Amino acid sequence: VSVLVVSCPCALGLATPTAIMVGTGRGASNGILIKSAEALETAHSVNVVVMDKTGTITQGKPVVTDLACQSGVTEDYLLQIAASLEKLSEHPLARAIVAEAEKRNTQFLPVEQFEQIPGQGIKGSIQGLACLAGNQKLLNAEGIHDEALEQLQDQMADQGKTPLFFAAAGKLIGMVAVADVVKPTSKQAIADLQTMGIEVVMLTGDHKKTAEAIRKQVGVDRVVAEVLPQDKEREVRSLQASGKKVAMVGDGINDAPALARADVGIAIGAGTDVAMESADIVLMRNDLLDVTGAIELSKATIWKSCLLSARKFYRAQV
């Protein structure tokens, strides 16, 4: 004799949508926009949060702090070449150099054959001279070296500054150091996540020493420095392969693949449209404390769902 028992878990079916509706509504009223019920349900189990540095942990509004010129090169000429190139770039560091040039009333020169090299820098022709702007990787690729400026680079990086090299006609003309300010709440937000038992990882294209200086400021558990845009998605995938439940927090176009790959993608509201489109959760206040808020909201929603289910089940039995 075979017996088939069919049952409808009405308690669960009614309680879960109710809890999720309340959770998403509460999130929206606090500037946390949750795109799907799945994102709200998944966030409670996150045990690693990966964060981009620029614009996420920092303000994303860097300023020029130092100019170091080669012998025979003036600051005006260095800044003119640098700003003319960087004016065609959308990187936050580029905007800092352009702003400094505008403040000094620098004349911008036309740039031809402009080219971006992901994770390294940019190239272009100015008045017939092949010019470039970028990091140590770009210099190495072009066979350009200068021991004195490379040592100065290390000193700047130790202070949390990002050094950028500039060359014209195959010769180094100088270096511009740029620094970004850490958001006031970043350190507290990271500490709160760690209190919840969540590992915090920072990703950045910065020099290792610059990244380490920022790590000491904000207290993240681990830093992955000198990453290319595609490395961010690869890092998320690697963590997932090791059994981690990963949330990715970012604001830029380069973060979009990692945001889409993560179990929960969280975009900072002041970021790009591409980042927000790729994310599951959008933080309108541009405040990392809301990352903690989103995860806590998810945990509270799951608990509320279980509690409502238990109550409805109990009442159904009485």
Give the domains, in start order, of the chain with CATH numbers: 31-59+182-302 (3.40.50.1000), 63-179 (3.40.1110.10)
* Cα(303)–Cα(196) distance, integer angstroms: 16
SS3 88: coil
Of 28-32, 216-220, 242-246, the poorest mean pLDDT is in 28-32
Taking a C-beta distance cutoff of 8 angstroms, is the pair 215, 223 a contact? yes
* Cα(87)–Cα(97) distance, integer angstroms: 8
SS3 200: strand
**Chain segment 180-237, per-residue pLDDT in tens:** 989 999 999 999 999 999 999 999 988 888 999 999 999 999 999 988 878 899 999 9
pLDDT, residue 27, reads 57
Tell me which of 253 and 212 has the higher pLDDT.
Answer: 212
Residue 66: pLDDT band (50, 70, 90) is very high
Tell me which of 275 and 317 has the higher pLDDT.
Answer: 275
Reply yes or no on whether the pLDDT at 75 is more than 70: yes
* Cα(29)–Cα(24) distance, integer angstroms: 9
Tell me which of 40 and 283 has the higher pLDDT.
Answer: 283
pLDDT, residue 177, reads 94
- The answer to whether 290 is a known catalytic residue is no
Task: Tell which residue, 253, 302, 260, has the closest CA to residue 35.
Answer: 260
Among residues 52, 180, 192, 290, the one annotated as catalytic is 52
Residue 9: pLDDT band (50, 70, 90) is low
* Cα(237)–Cα(159) distance, integer angstroms: 31
Taking a C-beta distance cutoff of 8 angstroms, is the pair 248, 259 a contact? yes
Report angle CA 254, 250, 277 to the nearest 5 degrees.
Answer: 75
